[in-house]
């Protein structure tokens, strides 16, 4: 019996009717099963291209932190490198060396004691980078406990409830209890005193967020480390910190150079960043760097043959294109420190100006004003009863803007906000257009008798109710 699928005997399925202006044959094509015959490449391209037109406009997507524009030269280099497998370091030694250079550049940017010796690697995104940072914390804790003749059962990791869902995944996948510090009142992220209350001898590490996805604020990493220093003096518990700097790691060094949050703090063991966010590379690219070789346990590192020698590698993924790493190195060379400072300061300038103008509209109160990450989170004043932030979000979509509305987590589920992320490419001119559409939306919404939409209408996923998506 032939193993070829007998399509003619299947139940009817939805099919796509092809525009005769560009079709050859056939004129109808199944959507969700293999066509019987090949298609002309132009027809196949046009079919996919036309369907993707129904996606939102990335430049108007103010929900995402992810880069939506790169310079043509960076895009060209990335396209040329799509067919290079990042894991094949011996076949593509130059691409591998670009990755190592980027690690050293980030280690220097974040004040590692010896930037040339600090271990690190590229990843498929910050979620993978966080997994690696968490694994290193757990393994170091296990080694220390075993050396002291103590149990390695019941490990836990402490973090604010505003952390991204990848940290919950880390805890679930690697059998670590996630101890989540809830929000309280106007404290929307982790603090030193709140953090140490959740620590004990089984705490493998603490996660501090440089740029909360809920409101764009920085967690006080230095204060958290100071609180852990005091805890160590009292108890002997030596708890290390991983800084999830997915966004802030490429903002704070340029806009807030005097802010101490990085390897200048001895308790900071590792840092991750998303190259595809404020690193200005299209998705998906992350980076993780450890302060020194002793922060990354040797038994987690694999050695591969590289040009007659050994190259250490530590990642969860295997095959992936070298394109994003190449684009990242291009950006580092092309912009340099001054260029990144110019780009990030401009984004902050746009965010702060937009925040001020939104506040002047009247209905909104600002939780953040773009003074840390170029992000603003706004809630409605209590006296606004005709509409909700969810109504505002859906009304703006009619003009093409994607502005997410969502509620905060435990213990502030009563707080619903709109969040606007300003990235490279979002200019003062686009901010003017957004503000104009917002004014018109409010004019329409004010005629309502009451809110029409609530949290159930939000299309913005928070990931198990723990934090807005990485994107």
Contact 194, 232 (CB under 8 A): no
Q: What pLDDT digit, counting tens, does each position of 66-118 carry?
A: 999 999 999 999 999 888 887 777 778 888 899 999 999 999 999 999 999 99
Cα(311)–Cα(166) distance, rounded to whole angstroms? Answer: 28
3-state secondary structure of 130: helix
Cα(92)–Cα(199) distance, rounded to whole angstroms? Answer: 45
Contact 243, 260 (CB under 8 A): no
pLDDT at 317: 80
In eight-state DSSP terms, residue 189 is S
Please spell the DSSP secondary structure of 409-451, one letter per residue: -TT-TT-EEEEEE--TT--HHHHHHHHHHHHHHHHHHTTSSS-
pLDDT at 87: 76
Question: Alpha carbon of 31 to those of 39, 205, 300, 341, 438: distances in Å?
Answer: 13, 48, 44, 47, 38
Angle between helices 93-109 and 323-360 (to 10 degrees): 40
Cα(137)–Cα(203) distance, rounded to whole angstroms? Answer: 9
pLDDT at 281: 96
Enter the pTM of the model.
Answer: 0.90
Angle between helices 126-147 and 165-173 (to 10 degrees): 40
pLDDT at 460: 53
**In whole angstroms, how large is the CA radius of gyration of the chain?**
25
pLDDT at 466: 45
pLDDT at 1: 46
Burial class (CB in 10 A: 0-12, 13-18, 19+), 469: middle
Q: Which parts of the chain have pLDDT scores under 70?
A: 1-13, 16-27, 304-312, 457-471
Q: 181 pairs with which residues across the strands?
A: 160
Chain centroid to CA 19: how far?
A: 39
Q: What pLDDT digit, counting tens, does each position of 406-446 carry?
A: 999 888 889 999 999 999 999 999 999 999 999 999 999 99
* 3-state SS, one letter per residue, for 316-359: CCCCCECHHHHHHHHHHHHHHHHHHHHHHHHHHHHHHHHHHHHH
Q: Is the dihedral of CA 162, 168, 169, 174 positive or negative?
A: positive
């Amino acid at each position: 019996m032939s193993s070829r699928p007998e399509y003619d005997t299947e139940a009817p399925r939805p099919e796509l009717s092809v525009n005769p202006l560009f079709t050859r044959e056939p004129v109808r094509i199944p959507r969700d099963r293999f066509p019987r015959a090949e298609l002309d490449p132009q027809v196949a391209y046009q079919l996919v291209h036309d369907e993707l037109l129904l996606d939102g406009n990335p430049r108007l997507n103010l929900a995402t932190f992810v880069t939506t524009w790169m310079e043509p030269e960076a895009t060209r280099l990335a396209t040329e490198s799509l067919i290079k497998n990042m894991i094949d370091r011996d076949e593509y030694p130059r691409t591998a060396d670009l990755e190592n250079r980027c690690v050293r550049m980030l280690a220097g940017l974040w004040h590692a004691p010896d930037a040339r010796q600090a271990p690190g690697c590229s990843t498929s995104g910050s979620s993978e980078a966080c997994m690696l940072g968490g694994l290193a914390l757990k393994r170091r804790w296990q080694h220390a406990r075993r050396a002291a003749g103590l149990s390695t059962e019941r490990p836990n990791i402490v973090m604010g409830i505003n952390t991204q869902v990848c940290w919950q995944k880390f805890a679930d996948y690697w059998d670590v209890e996630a101890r989540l510090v809830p929000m309280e009142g106007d404290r929307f992220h982790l603090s030193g005193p709140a953090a140490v209350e959740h620590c004990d001898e089984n705490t493998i590490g603490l996660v501090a967020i440089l740029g909360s996805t809920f409101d764009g604020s920085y967690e006080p990493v230095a204060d958290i480390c100071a609180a852990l220093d005091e805890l160590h003096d009292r108890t002997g518990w030596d708890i290390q910190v991983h800084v999830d700097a997915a966004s802030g790691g490429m903002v704070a060094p340029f806009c807030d150079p005097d802010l101490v949050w990085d390897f200048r703090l001895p308790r900071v063991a590792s840092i991750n960043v998303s190259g595809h966010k404020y690193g200005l590379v299209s998705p998906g690219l992350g980076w993780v760097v450890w302060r020194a070789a002793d922060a990354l346990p040797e038994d987690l590192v694999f050695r591969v043959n590289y040009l007659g020698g050994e190259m250490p590698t530590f990642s969860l993924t295997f095959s992936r294109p070298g394109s994003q790493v190449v684009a990242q190195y291009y950006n580092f060379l092309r912009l340099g420190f001054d260029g990144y400072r110019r780009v990030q300061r401009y984004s902050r300038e746009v965010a702060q100006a937009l925040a001020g103008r939104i506040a002047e509209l009247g209905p909104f109160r600002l939780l953040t004003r773009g003074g840390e990450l170029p992000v603003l989170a706004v809630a409605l004043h209590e006296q606004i009863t005709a509409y909700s932030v969810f109504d505002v979000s859906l009304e703006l979509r009619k003009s093409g803007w994607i502005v997410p509305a969502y509620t905060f987590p435990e213990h502030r589920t009563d707080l619903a906000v709109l969040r606007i992320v300003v990235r490279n490419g979002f200019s003062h001119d686009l901010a003017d257009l957004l503000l104009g559409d917002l004014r018109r939306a409010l004019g329409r919404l004010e005629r309502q008798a009451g809110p029409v939409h609530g949290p159930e209408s939000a299309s913005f996923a928070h990931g198990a109710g723990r934090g807005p998506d990485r994107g």
